[in-house]
Amino acid sequence: MISNIDLQEVHERISSYIHRTPIMTSQYLNGISGAEIYFKCENFQRMGAFKMRGAANAVLNLSEEKRQKGVVTHSSGNFAQALSLAAKSAGVPAYIVMPSSAPEVKKEAVRGYGGEVTECPPTLEEREKAAQKIIDKTGATFIHPSNDLDVIYGQGTAALELMQDQPELDFVITPVGGGGLIAGTALAVHHASENCKTIGAEPFAVDDAYRSLQSGKIEMNETANSVADGLKTMLGDKNFPIILKYVSEIIRVKEPEIIAAMKLIWERMKIVVEPSSAVALAAVLREKEKFKGKKLGIIISGGNVDLQKLPF
């Protein structure tokens, strides 16, 4: 599928466009979990989330001709900001389709990073239609937020850094939304260590990845009612085969567990994390027996929180 050299190459390609984020620990959280936890803090990444890595790799991998025509995506959240900033850093035009229901603060952030926002009605069909219109008009290249191999490889560099700094880990745990982060993480872990396993964490309310791993095919969600708003997207045909092959399991957590974990990280580590990021710690606290005495890496996926809408 991909060799360690490839991920190392990806890392070298994007290194001047991203931050090498810190790894933090908390004696208190180690104490209550019974494990040794290393938090890879992608909330300190440029634009506040891991998605900067995948966006940068996708943009930098384009031919000169394609770069001139620009890139397009549809996203209401972090990838919209990531692609805008990555494109701006590389001198590439970025066209971002956002649902009209997206918070004004997110639209402003995208514009601040140089993205040209096109609003559309908040359905996937309308998003895709709007993106296609832009492609027809500008010749821009469509980049999917999570179901694109360049994006997946870019996201894998967070785990690559984590494994370089902490080579003795037993498990690496990430939240699962569209599948880009966990697929990239699983590749990095697989090539960096023979013994370390990749585990996903997901809300019960949107447990499509858990069910997909069970059934062997991509499942959908009937509802999308979770505080972890970044995890409501579904897996894709590029990332799912990687997840199926290299992810050992997915742990589901309840909404109060997500909120409690988010609050713990704020109180004990003094860092801002999104509800989606807290899902991984919630999984560890839910399954303490499994992780007792083990060394864990947790990827804190982002810190872009609407402070007006804190769940605690």
Residue 3 above 90 pLDDT?
A: no
Q: Are residues 119 and 155 in the same domain?
A: no
Count of all residues that appear for the chain in the document: 312
pLDDT at position 4: 60
Q: Are residues 33 and 58 in the same domain?
A: no
Predicted confidence (pLDDT) per residue in 249-289, tens digit: 999 999 999 999 999 999 999 999 999 999 999 999 999 99
Percent of the chain, pLDDT > 70? Answer: 98
Q: Are residues 89 and 114 in the same domain?
A: yes
Helices assigned H by DSSP within the chain: 4-14, 27-33, 51-60, 64-69, 78-89, 104-112, 124-138, 149-165, 180-192, 208-215, 240-246, 255-269, 275-286, 288-291
Q: Are residues 138 and 283 in the same domain?
A: no
State the pTM of this model: 0.95
List the structure tokens of 2. Answer: 């991909």
Q: Are residues 200 and 259 in the same domain?
A: yes
Range of the domain at 287: 4-48+149-309
Q: Taking residues 218-241, what's their average pLDDT?
A: 90
| CA–CA separation, 101 and 79 (whole Å) | 16
Q: Are residues 89 and 192 in the same domain?
A: no
Percent of the chain, pLDDT > 90? Answer: 86
Among 91, 125, 142, residue at a domain's last position? 142
Q: Are residues 164 and 290 in the same domain?
A: yes
Predicted confidence (pLDDT) per residue in 41-94, tens digit: 999 999 999 999 999 999 999 999 999 999 999 998 899 999 999 999 999 999
Residue 29 above 70 pLDDT?
A: yes
Q: Are residues 136 and 165 in the same domain?
A: no
Among 142, 176, 199, residue at a domain's last position? 142
Low-confidence winner among 33-47, 121-135, 275-289 (lowest mean pLDDT): 121-135
Residue 38 above 80 pLDDT?
A: yes
State the DSSP code for 168: T
Q: Are residues 200 and 220 in the same domain?
A: yes
Beta bridge partners of 38: 297
> Do residues 153 and 57 make contact, with C-beta atoms less than 8 angstroms apart?
yes
Among 142, 161, 186, residue at a domain's last position? 142
pLDDT at position 2: 61
| CA–CA separation, 102 and 9 (whole Å) | 35
Q: How many domains does the chain have?
A: 2
Domain containing residue 68: CATH number: 3.40.50.1100
Residue 102 above 60 pLDDT?
A: yes
Q: Are residues 158 and 253 in the same domain?
A: yes
Q: Are residues 200 and 74 in the same domain?
A: no
Q: Taking residues 280-299, what's their average pLDDT?
A: 98
Which residues form the catalytic set?
Answer: 51, 76
Q: Taking residues 217-232, what's their average pLDDT?
A: 87
3-state helix, strand, coil in the chain (%, to 5): 55, 15, 30
Q: Taking residues 203-231, what's their average pLDDT?
A: 92
pLDDT at position 310: 87
